[in-house]
Structure 1
């Protein structure tokens, strides 16, 4: 599952530099997550760093429009980082 930044975002700039996949960028009003780059930090960390550093609870949530299992997230990580881990 990719993550989604909700309208609760206060644009504090904490999440964007922490994303190891460069999936977070500024949108029109708030930060947004590129579903094609978000692996929920699979391949990097045990938990999504954006959620860990966000100062507002429940601002970064699972995106119900982009449901992926752990294997799919791992495969996305491998493709993004051009490794031979499959």
Structure 2
């Protein structure tokens, strides 16, 4: 199990730390966003949301607040991302 965490750490370092990793991260991010916006995914999300709302209103409110927080953070981070130039 520890070996898996080490590999995950190196992979995360690569993605965050290198230009090639950054490009790959952007591709992955774009793919995930495209998947998230698909109508069948949103239909499933709506069903789950309605189920949670019916079964556990308090959990739904907490989950909605957490999702809003993540979206706000993601939107803020995306708007402040600047392309990095070479350090000559």
The interval holding the TM-score normalised by the smaller chain is under 0.3
Higher relative contact order at CA 8 Å, sep ≥6: structure 1 or structure 2? 1
Normalising by structure 1, we get a TM-score of 0.25
Higher helix share: 2
Larger radius of gyration: 2
Normalising by structure 2, we get a TM-score of 0.25
Higher strand share: 1
